[in-house]
Structure 1
Amino acid sequence: MEDKRGGRPPSGEDRMLSRMRDWRARHERDLTPDEEDEERPLPDARAIDLVLRVGELMLASGEGTEAVSEAMLSLTVAFNLPRSEVSVTFTTITLSTHPGGDHPPITGERVVRRRSLDYYRVNELHTLVQRSALGLMELEDAAARLEFIRRAPTPYPNWVIVVGFGMIAASAGVMMGGGFVVAAAAFLAAVLGDRTSVFLARRGVAEFYQMAAAAAVAATIGVGVLWVGTQIDHPFQAGAIITGNIMALLPGRPLVASLQDGISGSYVSSAARLLETFFILGAIVSGVGAVAYAAVRLGVPIDLDNLPSAGTSMEPLVLLGAAGIAIAFAVSLAVPARMLATIGLLGVMIWVIYAGMRELFEVPPVVGAVVGAVAVGVVGHWLARRTRRPVLPYLVPSIAPLLPGSLLYRGLLEFTQGTAMTGLLSLVEAVMVGLALGAGVNLGGELVRAFQRGGLAGAGMRGRPAARRTRGGY
């Protein structure tokens, strides 16, 4: 059946999407014994394969565990796979369907061996699921569309994604008042660090050491600019180079996804993603810390009192930097171009709320980060439901302006200069700000879910397993 509206479900059918899981649960719970024993045709193997491959590609492209489970269950309803159960972990996807009668269950599994963040594919896969759930796409058409999505190039050439990664660091340099030279050096450092990690990846080096090497390259360039500034008696804000590159490397996506998985009850995936987050943090700390320690030992003057920070400024240049960080982060994640302007506005919004809270009410950074993240979470989830798109492409880039790059850098320098306790407190505060951002955007989503029905396929309140485990039963 041809959809004349570019793949978006009709506006009046979002309630049907949200109730599909409830219908499935009620239908299978209310089967009579005679109906359970009735001979039924075996499920179509092509449908089982399609559901597994959709789930695999969604998980590999960066979608959260709960959303992958809901999408797969919606497809099992759409393509008549009876009594289906789905299990999604950090790397494994399992689908089991029971034909009924004397037939044994049929179970399939796929393992995600390679992950590449690509929110363009996530968005296209959500559209495929929605159209299939509404009966707008037959099994053969869905399989052909999946193959097209799998083979389709990203909306940006590779060099644009690399430039976007560099622009994260450059925008952070602008945001912290570093000027053109610092922004250019931060861009160069980020690109060289990224190319270093790609070089190591092609030679089979583990990802931890790739990240550590990228951080070390960026820190080395920052220290070099600082040393040159002291030689020519021109004190560049070289710390903004290192801080900007830390922000570019910080694991915003696994942090948000880990808390999202934990809140939704997927504890195994949540623990794995959180461990991934801390391993990435450890790699960044190792790379930057080693260079900072060597710089202090070699006599490069690093003044803790003059480290770059945007503080609570709302000057136009700072707001421009916040928008630039969010948009550049989105480009590096292959977010569709039509969403970039909205993401830039969300980046400005989270900074204005954070800075306003700290300036007007003198709250600590963690509180300001939570309030800003909740606001972005509410708006992002509302936009995702209204446009029927996945929510992570809105949320992950939008929190980037508040990622605690400056706190992390300060803590590392305090460690290298002999004030270990102060450095530990700064690192703990950086971790707390990161967790506050992840928890805040998820809390915003829970508020939207509590007061609004509809949205992506399978997103109904009654159909959510995490709401029924303890006190949420009916």
Structure 2
Amino acid sequence: MTETATHQQIRFLARLGATMGAANYPVTLVRQMVERASAAYGVPSDYVAFPNHVQVIGPITESGTPVKAAHVKDDLRFDQTFPLARLVSDAMTGRVRPVEGEARLDRILQAPARFPSWVTVLGYGVQSAGLALVLEPSPLNLLVATVLGFMVGVFCEAGRRVGLLQHLVPAVSAFAVSVICIAGAHRLGFDHVSLRALIPPLAMFLPGAAITLSVVELTARDVISGSSRLIAGFMQIAQLAFGILIATQVLGTDGSQLSPEAINKIGPWAPWLGVAVYSVGVMLFLAPPLSFLPWLVLITYTAFTAQFVGDMTLGSYASGFCGGLVLTVAALTISRRSGAPPAITLILPGFWLLVPGSMGLIGVTELFGADGDSAFPATVISMISVALGLQAGLVIWQLVKRRATRRALGDGRPDPVQ
């Protein structure tokens, strides 16, 4: 391989790794990609991988050592992760040349949004309505969650268009949603405001995925990446809690008037309908390919059923663990089928349905209220529960995979899993 080809490969791997980071791949998978792709291309390389920066170092040559670093400023949209996953798979097996891979990477990064802004806003409103049916099924809450979902969707679109506002959107959205809910509750003569009524419009800001990725990375001894994600996740929750608390102070509401109790005024079937409504909202808001819909419905119902059964049999904290475990195993199993979407695209929507992510917002808010002594430990346990469930799912998958490999090799048959 010529020196120019070596430089092309190193640059491609660095850019691909940085793009994976922008798509919320754990650095464990970024490392795996660099190692396997380097082996496939036949050029040894070393690397440094962080969530927002990847540096790849090529072999020593007479003219020096090629070093390429890459960073992607903005997170990838959900629809961009599908062609990215295919490119990652091709790179790890050497099916794509570096020049062709960079061209595909450019097309992925430059791809326009699939839907106009109004469809995205509509989708977020529908998604919020679905979560309202799951968390607090009542006619009033369903109406409020839908309208406020549209409002937050507009805020998100404004943040995307004006980069300086993007980091303020979570706090501003939490403040606006809380002011409207608290003022409306006072107007209607309610003696409390349900925290679960505030969650559906703010669901996209809950850092369930970030917390889970941090646990995966910390258990893999990627301490720097895991710690940074963990801190970023708690900062996101703090922004939401700050917006809610400012709203309560502005309106003179006592923190004890914020209730986490769940109320179902529609019927036991409402949460199950909410999962379907939520899935439709995800399709409009995140704009994945239309072929993703049946897989999305399958994975969301699987995750919700696991959480529901876990809550009924083991309790609320264990429900997150059960949901995360089953979600991971199901996503990995589905991704092995021909024509199925990548596992990482299946896991993200499932996170927003699991209760611990929502309990994180409730716990931090209560931390400044009457129940602060027990809220923070409950919050930590709830969020870590789903993360450990995901990690357990990965361990189970690897054990089953190794056993299938040994059995296939012992029988002299091709490996059915690989």
Taking structure 2 as the reference length, the TM-score comes to 0.83
Counterpart among 184, 189, 197 of residue 143 in structure 2: 184
Superposed displacement of residue 56, structure 1:
2.1
Gaps of 5+ in 2: 404-418
Partner of 2:57: 96
1:353 is the counterpart of 2:315: no
Asked if the contact 2:364/2:379 (under 8 Å) is kept, the reply is: no
Gaps of 5+ in 1: 1-39, 455-474
Which shows bigger deviation, 166-175 or 441-450?
Answer: 166-175
Superposed displacement of residue 258, structure 1:
1.6
Superposed displacement of residue 48, structure 1:
2.5
State the Cα deviation string for residues 162-181 of structure 1 (Å, max 9, x = none): 33333332212222444444
CA gap of 1:139–1:407, structure 2 versus 1, over 3 A, is: closer
Superposed displacement of residue 189, structure 1:
1.7
Superposed displacement of residue 267, structure 1:
1.7
Partner of 1:459: none
1:401 is the counterpart of 2:329: no
Partner of 2:26: 64
Q: Which amino acid aligns with 1:104?
A: G
Q: Which amino acid aligns with 1:63?
A: Y
Superposed displacement of residue 89, structure 1:
0.6
Superposed displacement of residue 333, structure 1:
4.2
Q: Which amino acid aligns with 1:248?
A: M
1:308 is the counterpart of 2:262: yes
Asked if the contact 2:123/2:285 (under 8 Å) is kept, the reply is: yes
Q: By percentage of residues, which structure has more helix?
A: 2
Asked if the contact 1:223/1:238 (under 8 Å) is kept, the reply is: no
Counterpart among 174, 195, 199 of residue 243 in structure 1: 199
Partner of 2:295: 342
1:83 is the counterpart of 2:83: no
Task: Find the residue that maps to 2:57 and give its secondary structure.
Answer: strand
Superposed displacement of residue 265, structure 1:
2.8
Asked if the contact 1:218/1:241 (under 8 Å) is kept, the reply is: no
Counterpart among 330, 333, 336 of residue 382 in structure 1: 333
Asked if the contact 1:329/1:400 (under 8 Å) is kept, the reply is: no
1:364 is the counterpart of 2:315: yes
- RMSD of aligned C-alpha atoms? 3.3
Q: Which amino acid aligns with 2:324?
A: A
Superposed displacement of residue 156, structure 1:
3.6
User: Structure 2 matches for 1:73-472, cutoff 5 A?
Assistant: 73-80=35-42, 82-100=43-61, 102-112=62-72, 114-134=73-93, 136-196=95-155, 199=158, 202=162, 204-205=164-165, 207=167, 209-230=168-189, 239-295=195-251, 297=252, 302=257, 304=259, 307-309=261-263, 315-325=268-278, 328-329=281-282, 332-359=285-312, 361=313, 363-387=314-338, 389-404=341-356, 407-408=359-360, 411=363, 414=366, 419=370, 422-452=371-401
Superposed displacement of residue 321, structure 1:
1.3
Which shows bigger deviation, 385-394 or 276-285?
Answer: 385-394
Superposed displacement of residue 226, structure 1:
1.5
Q: Which amino acid aligns with 1:52?
A: A
Asked if the contact 1:94/1:108 (under 8 Å) is kept, the reply is: yes
User: Highest Rg: 1 or 2?
Assistant: 1
Asked if the contact 1:55/1:71 (under 8 Å) is kept, the reply is: yes
Write the distance in 1 (CA, Å) between the matches of 2:286 and 2:208. Answer: 11
Asked if the contact 2:28/2:217 (under 8 Å) is kept, the reply is: yes
Counting aligned pairs with the same residue, the percent is: 17
Q: Which amino acid aligns with 1:277?
A: G
What is the total number of aligned residue pairs between the two structures? 400
Q: Which amino acid aligns with 1:317?
A: A
Quick one: higher RCO (CA 8 Å, sep 6+), 1 or 2? 1
Write the distance in 2 (CA, Å) between the matches of 1:405 and 1:440. Answer: 13
